[in-house]
Amino acid sequence: MTQTTLQFYNTLSRQLMPFDSIGPLRVGLYACGPTVYDYAHVGNLRTYLFVDTLKRVLQLNGYQVNHVMNITDVGHLVSDGDSGEDKMEKGARIQHKSAWEIATFFESAFLADLERLNILKPSITCRATEHIQEQISFIQSLEEKGYTYQTSDGIYFDTEKLPDYGKLARLDKQGLLAGIRVDMAEKRHPTDFALWKFSGGQKRQMEWQSPWGIGFPGWHIECSAMAEKYLGETFDIHIGGEDHIPVHHTNEIAQCQAKNGKVQANYWMHGYFLNINNEKISKSGVSLRLESLIEHGYEPLAYRYLTLTSHYRSHLSFSWEGLAGAQKTLRRLRDKITSLPAGGNIDSQFKAEFLGYINRDLNMPQALALVWKVIESEIEPADKKSTLLYFDQIFGLDLGKVVRVTIPDEVQRLAEQRQSLKQQGRYDEADSIRDQILAYGYQVNDSADRLYTITPR
């Protein structure tokens, strides 16, 4: 246990609050997972890196974290207002595969991305389609308590029945009612949301029997039902991206409050978006995958480094220049650490300063800046190494696992020569030098901005 008090910004109270867990040194953490109808983009991954940093900070403070993440493989409609096609069925139609096939495929691709980014595995990963009965039971409880009504296309939650509906987002219900822009269909109030949707005349690939007819669960109910199953009626932290504040998390709070008469989670934390050219990265709009960064010659951990340079509650603007800078700095940091001798001690003053930053709402930019202060400090080289490796438990950059690869001078010279030929447009000659480098047992990986790396084959 450390001396520094943990403080997190709680979206519910809009305040920085000391963290107080329900159970001693135990944390129940629920992170909303991906909707698996397409590849995750680097924006999604920024959110999961934020979750991972939070988890690492809790663990370093001595907490045992029970981390649950769902996989949304049914029920997330194209519009968050409960209209339009199910994203899974739409993805299946476009990709000429079954909804079940794309769910499995994109879930695996997502989990592989997490691994490449050194994100610690959740304690429990649970799929919505494997918890249909739990969701039906949840809706039945809401029905018994009088919070639901039926329309021709489903069972809806009546948000008027909860006086403080919308408190997370500070929703202005009157304002919403005055200028209804929401697709109301048969909903009684614009904020009402679907708990169960009927298949209707269409045959769906993913559908189940229920007391109300054949259909599928709404998006919000899956998280509430699974969170309750694995973490109980009230747990410590519920986390997701900022877009979850006005709809998804607002509705989760409502249905849990209605069913259990209690707040679902004590702390609500939200990661801000990654943008590109001032536009949010999204699966349906401008997207960018981790795989593309790799194809451009960058390591996934360079992206991890990049995300640590901004606070989770600010938007981060992605640029290739920024990523190239992160890659270069990460490499410099590794070189530095490998050149330091082992066997030192963690410097207590730097440790205290570090904990001060990370424990105050995960101030990673300041924690990262401290790395360079340690490197430039007067402390023993071996102590520098131990201190930096201690920091890396939070950064997750695998700094301790680095093996120094010495590139022979001749290979270095050839790579520079090849680069200069490429810049002159003499590509055939550049290719033949690439072959010579390969013959030495190394390969050159081109990346953006005239950068390249040399790695053993």
Instruction: List, as residue ranges, the binding site.
Output: 32, 223, 248, 252, 283
Among 8, 11, 27, 43, contact with ligand AMP (rule: CB under 6 A): 43
Work out which of 46, 67, 385, 418 binds ligand AMP, going by CB under 6 A. 46
**Does 281 interact with ligand AMP (rule: CB under 6 A)?**
yes
Query: Which C-beta is closer to Zn ion: that of 269 or that of 330?
Result: 269
Q: Cβ(255)–Cβ(221) under 8 Å?
A: yes
Within 3-32, the residues that bind Zn ion by CB under 5 A are: 32
User: Helix, strand, coil % (nearest 5) of the chain?
Assistant: 45, 20, 35
Annotated binding site for ATP: 283
Task: Cite the DSSP H helix spans in 17-86.
Answer: 42-60
Q: Is 223 in the site for Zn ion (CB under 5 A)?
A: yes
Query: Residues at the annotated binding site for Zn(2+)?
Result: 32, 223, 248, 252
Name the DSSP letter for residue 63.
Answer: P
Residue in the structure block whose two tokens are 């924690």: 367
Q: Is 324 exposed, middle or buried, given 0-12, 13-18 or 19+ CB atoms closer than 10 A? A: buried
CB-CB contact of 364 with 304 (8 Å) = no
Which amino acid type is present at position 124? I
30 binds ligand AMP (CB under 6 A): no
* Nearest CA-CA partner of 240 in 273, 262, 200, 210: 273
CA distance 220 to 111: 22
Site for ligand AMP contains 243 (CB under 6 A): yes
244 binds ligand AMP (CB under 6 A): yes
The interaxial angle of helices 409-423 and 427-439, nearest 10 deg, is: 160
For residues 43 and 154, which CB has a smaller minimum distance to ligand AMP in the complex?
Answer: 43
From the list ligand AMP, Zn ion, none, which binds 173 (C-beta under 5 to 8 Å, kind-based)? none
The Cα–Cα gap between 158 and 148 comes to: 6
Q: Which does 116 bind (CB under 5 to 8 A by kind): ligand AMP, Zn ion, none?
A: none
217 interacts with ligand AMP by CB under 6 A: no
221 binds Zn ion (CB under 5 A): no
Is 36 an interacting residue with respect to Zn ion (CB under 5 A)? Answer: no
Binding site for Zn ion (CB under 5 A): 32, 223
Binding site for ligand AMP (CB under 6 A): 32, 34-35, 43-44, 46-47, 72, 240-241, 243-244, 271, 273-274, 280-282
